[in-house]
Amino acid sequence: MEKEFSRVHSATDIIISLILVAGGCCLLIPNTTSINVLGFFMIITGLVLALVMRTGYKDKETGERFRKTEKFFPAHCKDSISKAIVSSPDKIDLSEENKGNGLRLDTFFNTRTGHVFCRLYEYIPYRYQACTEFITLDMKQAEKLTK
């Protein structure tokens, strides 16, 4: 299954930007120079974040929105992780997590629909290259991977 995800604004991104802009506007009300500078800084920061920050993901085919987690493992775990993803993802040994960066396990999940997609990447100098296809799971199976 070939999946393609694009980065999009999440609700959290929009809320943070709006809070910064609204807070900056509130600081412009008093006529104090030092507070006005902080207000303008907050407004500009909120606007820049609104343009730049994109922490959500969207499936290009279906339009469904996802969140993403990344877990890093040492390279010697490749066979065990790739087999565990297919058969029983709840059996992945998370004690090896963050002990190396030879492998990266990306998990895209949507808690409302319960859809989960996992893919394992191997580090080839200067980039991560996919070593498995996207594997479709349900939320109950991949509960450990989404945290």
What pLDDT was estimated at residue 23? 93
Integer angstrom CA distances of residue 125 from 76, 96, 99, 122: 16, 21, 18, 10
User: Do the domain assignments include residue 13?
Assistant: yes
Residues 52 and 84 in one domain: no
Per residue in 53-63, pLDDT (tens digit) is: 888 999 888 88
* Paired tokens of 45: 């920061």
d(CA 36, CA 80): 57
Same domain, 114 and 79: yes
The residue among 71, 57, 55, 54 whose CA lies nearest residue 115 is 57
Residue 52 lies in domain: 5-57
CA distance readout (Å), 102 to 64, 93, 94: 30, 15, 15
Highest mean pLDDT out of 5-9, 15-19, 114-118 = 15-19
Total number of domains in the chain: 2
Rounded to 5°, the CA angle 137-92-120 comes to 65
In a domain, 145, yes or no: no
| Side chain identity at residue 131, one-letter code | C
For the stretch 23-39, pLDDT in tens is 999 988 887 777 888 89
Does 74 map to a domain?
yes
Convert the pLDDT of each residue in 10-20 to its tens digit: 888 999 999 99
- For residue range 47-87, what is the model confidence (pLDDT) as tens digits? 999 999 888 999 888 888 999 989 898 888 888 888 888 88
Pair (24, 47) in one structural domain: yes
In a domain, 116, yes or no: yes
Q: Note the pLDDT of residue 1.
A: 56
Instruction: Identify whether residues 53 and 104 lie together within a single domain.
Output: no
